[in-house]
Amino acid sequence: MKTTEMAKNIAEPEIYRLDEQVGFMLRRATQRHLAIFNNLMPDFTPTQFAALAKLCELGPVSQNELGRQTAMDAATIKGVIDRLRKRGYVTTRPDPGDQRRIQIVPTGDGRTAYLERVTAAQEITARTLEPLSPRERGEFLDLLGRMT
Amino acid sequence: MKTTEMAKNIAEPEIYRLDEQVGFMLRRATQRHLAIFNNLMPDFTPTQFAALAKLCELGPVSQNELGRQTAMDAATIKGVIDRLRKRGYVTTRPDPGDQRRIQIVPTGDGRTAYLERVTAAQEITARTLEPLSPRERGEFLDLLGRMT
DNA sequence: CAAAATCTGTTTGTACACGAACAAAAGGCA
DNA sequence: TGCCTTTTGTTCGTGTACAAACAGATTTTG
C-alpha cells in the first residue's frame, strides 16, 4: 500500500497486477474454502449439501424454486438433483396443481445425512474464517454479504 | 441480527442457515463478479485473461509454472493454454534446457489483446467493488487477501 | 554412478456453471 | 374464449476445477 502510493506519486503507468484484483482473490479464497470443505465433508460437494440443506429447511419445493433459493440456474440444479436422487437423498414427484413442476422431497436418508453433517458444515465455516480475528470475521461477512 | 441474538438467549438449537455461510456468500459474490466480467470483457473468460496477463507480465514460462502463478492446477492450465493457442494469443515451444517443459510465449496478437483490455479489467474490479465505500473496499481486499 | 524421488505435461472422469434453444403447461388479457 | 407471454424443466455446448493415474525427463541421494 505504501509502495503503491509512492508509485502513484511519480506517475507510474497504472500497472495491472493480477494478484490485486478482486476476481482473482475471490477465486483463491474459494479454492481454499473448497479444500477445507472437501476435507471435512468428503462425501458431498458444496452445491449438493447446499441443495439438501435448503430442501430440509423449506420442505418440498419445485426444482427451479430450489435452484433459486440456492443460487443455481435451472441447468445446474437439475444435475445436482439428479445426483442427489441417484444417491437416495431426495425423491421427486409430480406437482398435483401444476403439471410442469416437479416437487423435490428429502428422503429419510436425506434428512439424516443433513442433520449428521450440520456440525461439520459449521466447522467448515469456522476454519475458512480462521485467519481472521473474531472482530474481523463479522466485518468480512458483512462486506461480503453486500457484494451480492 | 437482533432476532438471532434473541433466539440465542432462549437456547435455540443452533439452526444452520445456508445464506450466512462463508462458502455460499463467496459463491454468490463470485457469480456477480463473473456476470460483470462477462459484460465488460465478453471475449475472454477470467481464467484466460488471468493466464494471458500473467504471461505478458512474466515473459516466457513453462506451462505448469504459469499455472502456479495463476492458481490453476496442471490439468486446468492445460485446457486454458490450448484455447488461448487455438485463438492465436500464445505459442508454445520446447524448452531448450529441459525436455519435459513447454515454454509458453505470448504472440503479438496476445500482447495487443492484453494491453487493449487492461482498462476494462480495471473497470471490472471497480464495478465489482462498487457496493462498498472507498474505505470499505480497502478493508475488504485486505481481509479477502488474508483468507488465502 | 545407479536407484529412488520428484517434476512435467497428458488423459480420464466427475462435477459445477451458464448461455441458448426448445416444448409443454400455465397465466394474463383483450 | 383464444391468443400471447411467461414459467418450468430439459438438452446441448463450452469452459473451468480438481483428483487420480501415467510416461518420460530430471534431480537427489546413497
pLDDT in tens, chain B (148 residues): 444 444 444 544 568 999 999 999 999 999 999 999 999 999 999 999 999 999 999 999 999 999 999 999 999 999 999 999 999 999 999 999 999 999 999 999 999 999 999 999 999 999 999 999 999 999 999 999 999 8
What gap in Å lies between CA A67 and CA B105, rounded to an integer?
Answer: 42
pLDDT above 70: residue A7 = no
pLDDT above 50: residue A8 = no
**B88–A contact, CB cutoff 8 A:** no
Domain residues for the domain of A118 are 16-145
**B53–A contact, CB cutoff 8 A:** yes
Nearest CA in chain A to B54: A18
Answer whether residue B30 is part of any domain.
Answer: no
Answer whether residue B33 is part of any domain.
Answer: no
Q: How confident is the model at residue A15 (pLDDT cuts 50, 70, 90)?
A: confident
Answer whether residue A101 is part of any domain.
Answer: yes
- A140 vs B141: CB contact, 8 Å cut-off? no
CB A47 within 8 A of CB A72: yes
Answer whether residue B115 is part of any domain.
Answer: yes
Q: How confident is the model at residue A13 (pLDDT cuts 50, 70, 90)?
A: low
The DSSP letter of residue B44 is S
State in Å, rounded, how far the first CA of chain A is from the last one: 26
Å between B51 CA and nearest CA of chain A: 9
Backbone φ/ψ region at B25: left (φ over 0), alpha (ψ -120 to 50), beta? alpha
Residues near strand D (C-beta below 7 A) are A 27, 31, 34-35, 38, 62-65, 74-75, 78, 95, 98, 100-102; B 45-48, 71-76, 79-80, 83, 98-100
pLDDT above 90: residue A14 = no
Q: Which residues pair with B94 in a beta bridge?
A: B102
Answer whether residue B12 is part of any domain.
Answer: no
Q: Which residues pair with A91 in a beta bridge?
A: A105
Of B133, B62, B129, B68, which Cα lies nearest the Cα of B100? B62
Of A59, A36, A115, A74, which Cα lies nearest the Cα of B22? A36
Answer whether residue A11 is part of any domain.
Answer: no
Answer whether residue B31 is part of any domain.
Answer: no
Residue type, B125: T
- B132 vs A147: CB contact, 8 Å cut-off? yes
What is the arithmetic mean of pLDDT over A36-52? 98
CB A143 within 8 A of CB B22: no
Structurally, how many domains does chain A consist of?
1
Q: What angle do CA A70, A74, B31 make, to 5 degrees?
A: 55
φ, ψ for residue A57, nearest 5 deg = -75, -40
Q: Lowest-confidence range among A68-72, A123-127, B11-15, B82-86?
A: B11-15
pLDDT of residue B93: 96
Of A97, B25, B109, which Cα lies nearest the Cα of B33? B25
pLDDT of residue B122: 97
Query: Stated in angstroms, how far is B100 CA from D30 C1'?
Result: 26
- Are β-strands B90-94 and B61-62 bridged in parallel, bridged antiparallel, or unpaired? unpaired
Percent above pLDDT 70 for chain A? 91
**B80–A contact, CB cutoff 8 A:** no
What gap in Å lies between CA B146 and CA A89, rounded to an integer?
Answer: 36
What is the arithmetic mean of pLDDT over A36-59? 97
Q: Would you state the cell numbers that stand for residue B14, as one nine-digit string?
A: 443452533
**A41–B contact, CB cutoff 8 A:** no
CATH number of the domain residue A82 falls in: 1.10.10.10
Question: What residues of chain A lie within 8 A of the CB of B33, using their CB?
Answer: 22-23, 26, 147
What is the arithmetic mean of pLDDT over A13-35? 93
Q: Kindly report the average pLDDT of chain A as a whole number.
A: 92
Answer whether residue A10 is part of any domain.
Answer: no
The DSSP letter of residue B97 is T
